[in-house]
């Protein structure tokens, strides 16, 4: 320690500056790291940030260097942001081309000259792939991967026939928002919509949580459709639409979500998981109008088809009714005559049966009386022969027998009389019913109700086709007969 001469700090930094200049001056290196503590000075065309590296197991910072990008590199960063759709910001892993230098006053730094677009795009694709794998693994109940892509619960939602109530997620005042509203409200078909707005940022990592919360709010309401739109400005910072939580809520929502976030490059995860994806907000609005237009045309087609079928069925029923009426007019007169003859025969039978039942009852009574007289005579003769003790017994026996026979006669008379009365009453009621039916179907009664009969050559005609033109016919009404001539025909 005593033998070594101490150095001034300026001497050490100057020696280091010469060492770096001699050994590393003019050499460039491609370095991979994560952007941290980023600051931009657009007016001057500068960028300042730290490039850091973290341990994979703990996440602790294990390396860190200051980076400066002067105006030439500033232009390169602008090109990078256009091509990747990503702004240079904290947390973004990049590969930059830089030169290592050491300044006696400001220390060691990296001066950036270029940035790799392909590296960042690859990292974004890798991040998207890992997010997709995680979503499929953790939520198989509403996200499935197939050979053709991804199937989510949201994609399986059924759209209503007519879209009326729409929820809109967008940033307030965005050009894409105004385009969607104008296209929907000023449409040529006269369709009207109920629009509810859920405003949120749609750029930057911080917007992911807000967007996920808006999707969850809409999922708890009753909407025909929800749309996520973003339009106008640069094609930058679409990384938010690859967010894990945002796409989890989108995939499991039971309200159909259409995505129109205004990009022309590869699809985001939101495009893959939503019910439908469209390039711009205007395309989203046009798709809604086309959906309702197709539904309107289908309804009109169904109406025309129903009207044609109804008209055909009504015509068929009308023709069948006309044929039935013609057959009825032919059959009714004959049927009425048959019923009239049957009723007359029935009345005759009832009169005959009623008299026969009464005559049979009288004959039975007379026969019983005759038997009683005969039996009484025999008993009387027997009593006369028994002059002594049997006379009284025979007299009592004869009286007892006589009383029994008289009782039997009375019982039979009692049974026969109601039976004959019931039979006559029932037959009389049936006859009255048949007579009433005949009166209802009487042609004269039909005529009194306003109907008329058409007669040709003295016969009733049911089919007008049987009457030739210019023929003389008779129209029979309830009170008179009218003479007429067939002068023309009109289909009914």
- CA distances, 150 to each of 124, 133, 251, 273, 375 (Å): 19, 11, 10, 7, 117
Q: Quickly list H helices, 386-486.
A: 390-440, 443-448
Q: Which residues of the chain have pLDDT under 50?
A: 233-236, 383, 387, 391, 394
What fold characterizes domain 9-115?
Answer: OB fold (Dihydrolipoamide Acetyltransferase, E2P) (2.40.50)
Q: What is the pLDDT of residue 236?
A: 46
The rounded distance, in Å, linking the Cα atoms of 419 and 357 is 9
Query: pLDDT value at position 475?
Result: 83
50 and 34 in contact (C-beta within 8 Å)?
A: no
> What predicted TM-score, i.e. pTM, was given to this entire model?
0.56
Report the phi/psi class of residue 292: left, alpha or beta, with left for phi > 0 and alpha for psi in -120 to 50.
alpha
In sequence order, which residues have a C-beta less than 8 Å from that of residue 223 and are 6 or more positions away? 165, 166, 167, 196, 255
CATH 1.10.1760 is the classification of domain 127-279: no
Residue 469: the pLDDT is 80
Largest CA distance in the chain: 197
Tokens 């005593």, residue located: 2
- The pLDDT, as a whole number, for residue 31 is 96
CA 398 vs CA 365, 370, 409, 410: distances in Å:
19, 15, 16, 18
pLDDT of residue 71: 92
- The fraction of the chain above a pLDDT of 90, given in percent, is 45
């Amino acid at each position: 320690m005593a033998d070594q001469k101490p150095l001034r700090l300026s001497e050490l930094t100057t020696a280091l500056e010469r060492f770096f200049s001699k050994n590393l001056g003019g050499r460039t290196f491609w370095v991979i790291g994560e952007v941290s503590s980023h600051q931009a000075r657009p007016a001057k065309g500068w960028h300042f940030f730290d490039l850091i590296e973290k341990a994979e197991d703990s996440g602790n910072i294990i390396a860190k260097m200051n980076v400066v990008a002067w105006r030439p590199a500033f232009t390169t960063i602008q090109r990078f942001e256009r091509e990747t759709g990503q702004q240079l910001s904290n947390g973004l892993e990049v590969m930059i081309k830089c030169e290592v230098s050491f300044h006696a006053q400001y220390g060691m730094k990296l001066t950036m000259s270029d940035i790799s677009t392909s590296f960042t795009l690859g990292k974004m694709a890798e991040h998207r792939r890992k997010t997709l794998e995680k979503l499929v693994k953790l939520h198989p109940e509403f996200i499935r991967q197939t050979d053709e892509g991804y199937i989510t619960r949201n994609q399986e939602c059924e759209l209503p026939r007519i879209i009326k109530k729409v929820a809109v997620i967008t940033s307030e005042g965005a050009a894409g928002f105004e385009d969607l509203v104008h296209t929907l409200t000023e449409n040529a078909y006269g369709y009207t919509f109920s629009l509810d707005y859920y405003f949120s940022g749609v750029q930057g990592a911080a917007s992911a949580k807000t967007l996920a919360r808006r999707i969850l709010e809409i999922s708890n309401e009753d909407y025909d459709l929800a749309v996520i739109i973003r339009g106008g400005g640069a094609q930058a910072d679409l990384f938010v639409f690859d967010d894990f939580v945002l796409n989890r809520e989108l995939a499991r929502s039971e309200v159909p979500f259409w995505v129109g976030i205004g990009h022309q490059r590869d699809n985001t995860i939101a495009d893959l998981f939503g019910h439908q994806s469209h390039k711009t907000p205007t395309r989203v609005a046009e798709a809604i109008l086309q959906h309702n237009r197709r539904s309107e045309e289908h309804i009109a087609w169904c109406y025309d088809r129903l009207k044609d079928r109804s008209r055909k069925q009504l015509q068929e029923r009308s023709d069948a009714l006309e044929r039935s009426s013609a057959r009825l007019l032919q059959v009714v007169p004959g049927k009425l005559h048959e019923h009239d003859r049957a009723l007359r025969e029935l009345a005759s039978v009832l009169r005959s049966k009623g008299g026969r039942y009464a005559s049979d009852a009288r004959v039975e009574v007379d026969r019983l009386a005759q038997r009683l007289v005969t039996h009484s005579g025999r008993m009387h003769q027997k009593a006369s022969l028994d002059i002594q003790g049997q006379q009284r017994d025979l007299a009592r026996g004869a009286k007892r027998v006589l009383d029994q026979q008289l009782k039997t006669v009375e019982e039979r008379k009692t049974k026969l009389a109601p039976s004959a009365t019931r039979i006559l009453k029932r037959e009389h009621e049936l006859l009255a019913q048949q007579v009433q039916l005949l009166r209802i179907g009487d042609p004269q009664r039909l005529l009194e109700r306003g109907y008329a009969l058409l007669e040709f050559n003295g016969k009733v005609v049911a089919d007008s086709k049987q009457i030739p033109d210019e023929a003389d016919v008779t129209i029979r009404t309830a009170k008179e007969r009218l003479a007429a001539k067939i002068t023309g025909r009109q289909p009914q």
